[in-house]
A and B are shown apart, each in its own frame.
Chain A
Amino acid sequence: MSMHSTITSTFQQVAREQERMLSPLADDLPLLHCGLDSLSFALIVARLEDSLGIDPFEAAVQFPATFGDFVRLYQNFAK
């Protein structure tokens, strides 16, 4: 599975578990308003660390503004 699809399905799974309405995951979707709270992001980051083996947030980084920025953060870190 590509990193993009792994990240997408993790967002969707956490949104389902947290019973939150997730906006469609377009590249320019602002994460601040996508329907998820900080707990949901914490769960997403934890699960991605397990499934992808990386944690781009281990260095203090600015939290990505859009969904596309989030995916690129992971793709760049993995290189």
Chain B
Amino acid sequence: MQAHGPRGGRLAGRTAGVPLAQLAGSTGLGGQLEALRGRSVLLVTAEQLTAALALIELDGVARRMVLCPPDLAAAHLPHVIATAGAELAVYDAASPEQARSALPGIAASATLAPLPAPRRASEPTEWVLLTSGTTGTPKLVLHTLASLTSALAAAPPPPQPITWSTFYDIRRYGGLQIFLRGLHAGSLVLSDPAEPLGDFLARAAAAGVTHISGTPSHWRKVLMSGQSGRLSPRYVRLSGEIADQGVLDGLAAAYPQASVAHAFASTEAGVAFEVRDGRAGFPAALLQAAGGRTELRVAQETLQIRSPGTALRYLGESVEPLRGSDGFVDTGDRVEERDGRYYFLGRRGGVINVGGLKVHPEEVEAVINAHPWVRMSLVKARRSPITGAVVTADVVLKDSAGAPAPEVVARELGERCRGALAAHKVPAKFRIVTALEVSAAGKLVRPGE
């Protein structure tokens, strides 16, 4: 993996950074790499930079690496360890006690020491990622470096090095893709969950970041913060949630000099395609030609993907198959075609049932988010003794100076929704709130998840 990328690149955390050229001859594992050769290793460092260095060092040496995000609940550790057959842990000074005591381990640090002898690769390491549900037991998803980089493999490094950044933690699929892109193309600036948003953007700008990725919820927070001007990106990328027209228009207005792209990607399905035309959804033509070796199809109104970038399988004994018998991965995202374009309706599992009629929260949110004074919204089910459920919406407005009164916005939203949606999809009530909860993975937190 270290063969990628220009020699002048850098991997930078909030307070420390490492020149990429230094990595080949160095170790962050205190020279203990050989103890991990051929083993299944749990990466539980608290610091992202330490994790990044350990990933680079262990790839090709460990049999398997399990990338544990920092917010993994201690209660899930036994399940993760047992399912992955993890034998040893790599931890750092800030790793939680339960993670450190769960397995024999090796301390890692971002302060590198010289390696006595060149590193020898012995096998293609399995990369295991965890799915990002906030309350349920995570599923363990198996990738290899080949599946993780299949979208990159065809592309040569750019003529000028690029400095990438991301709001994501790199131990999640969305962040890992940017980590690999950064190493391939130049440099990477890591985020820090404790860092105020404006400071992160300023730090990224000072490091020369031009390409930056996050979820639509991450980007809505940027737009709401009043700090979006601290960075001048050339390329703004969204993935991980449905990118509706509201957030795409907001980013186009905030960054008129940037190319704004939304990518469809999931831990299981990989990166399927990217849309750069500034519109939500994707052109129907992608079903015929998605690019490279990626194939898309729609079956039972759901998007399915087959490509060398999909994960291989879930780990564990009685888990469902990740791929169908023909190799297609069911994304679980419902889509609808209108005038030659497909639009995302929402997650199949999130559907609300109103007297037998179905509604996806995301399609209602897209209508609400298009209102000029709305920044983001969360649509939920509210129990109804008559129809089982009715729809209700929590709405965050843009900066309050000049915003109309909440009752006015609520009335306008009702009119908008009645004009755009079938009656059962219109929220019974619009509640104006000051904030909505976004998970550590950067996604809007939905009830029951």
| B371-389 interface bits toward A, Cβ cutoff 8 Å, 1 = contact, 0 = none | 0000000000010111100
Tell me the smallest distance from the CB of A23 to a CB of chain B, in Å.
19
Q: B428: which of A38, A43, A55 is its contact (CB, 8 Å)? A: A43
Interface string of A34-47 (1 = CB under 8 A from B): 00001101110111
B428 contacts which chain A residues (CB < 8 A)? 42-43, 46-47
* Nearest Cβ on chain B to A36's Cβ, whole angstroms: 11
Q: Given A39-B423, A39-B424, verify A46-B418 contact (CB < 8 Å).
A: no
| B residues less than 8 Å from A57 (CB atoms) | 385-386
Q: Establish whether residues A38 and B418, one from each chain, have CB atoms under 8 Å apart when the complex forms.
A: no
B390 and A46 within 8 A (CB) = yes
Chain B residues whose CB sits within 8 angstroms of the CB of A45 once the complex forms: 384-386
Which B residues are in CB contact (< 8 Å) with A63? Answer: 386
A61 and B90 CA atoms in complex are apart in Å by 60
**B341 interfacial contact with A, CB 8 Å:** no
Report B-chain residues with C-beta under 8 Å of the C-beta of A46: 382, 384, 390, 392, 428-429
Nearest chain B residue, comparing its CB with the CB of A58: B385
> Which residues from A are CB-within-8-Å of B385?
45, 55, 57-58
Q: Which residues from chain A contact B424 at a C-beta distance below 8 Å?
A: 39
Contacts of B386 in A (CB 8 A): 38, 41-42, 45, 57, 63
Q: Is A28 an interface residue (CB 8 A)?
A: no
Interface of B is mostly: mixed
With an 8 A cutoff between CB atoms, is A18 at the interface?
A: yes
| Inter-chain CB contacts under 8 Å: number | 40
CB distance from A29 to the nearest CB of B (A): 18
Q: Which among B384, B387, B390, B423 is the interface contact of A18 at CB below 8 angstroms?
A: B423
Q: Are A42 and B423 in contact (CB-based, < 8 A)?
A: no
Interface contact B429-A47, CB-CB below 8 Å:
yes
Interface string of B382-419 (1 = CB under 8 A from A): 10111100101000000000000000000000100010
Q: For the complex, what is the distance from the CA of A6 to the CA of B392, rounded to whole Å?
A: 21
Question: Can you list, as one digit per residue, whether each of B308-334 has a CB less than 8 Å from chain A (1) or not (0)?
Answer: 000000000000000000000000000
How far apart are B395's CB and chain A's nearest CB, in angstroms? 16
Q: Can you list 10 A-B pairs with a CB-CB distance of less than 8 A?
A: A17-B414, A38-B386, A41-B386, A42-B384, A42-B386, A43-B390, A45-B385, A46-B382, A50-B429, A57-B386
Binding site for A on B (CB under 8 A): 354-355, 382, 384-387, 390, 392, 414, 418, 423-424, 426, 428-429
A sample of 10 more A-B contacts (CB under 8 A), given A17-B418, A17-B426, A42-B354, is A38-B386, A39-B390, A39-B423, A39-B424, A41-B386, A43-B390, A45-B385, A45-B386, A46-B390, A55-B385
Q: 5 nearest interchain CB pairs?
A: A57-B385, A42-B386, A42-B387, A46-B428, A42-B384
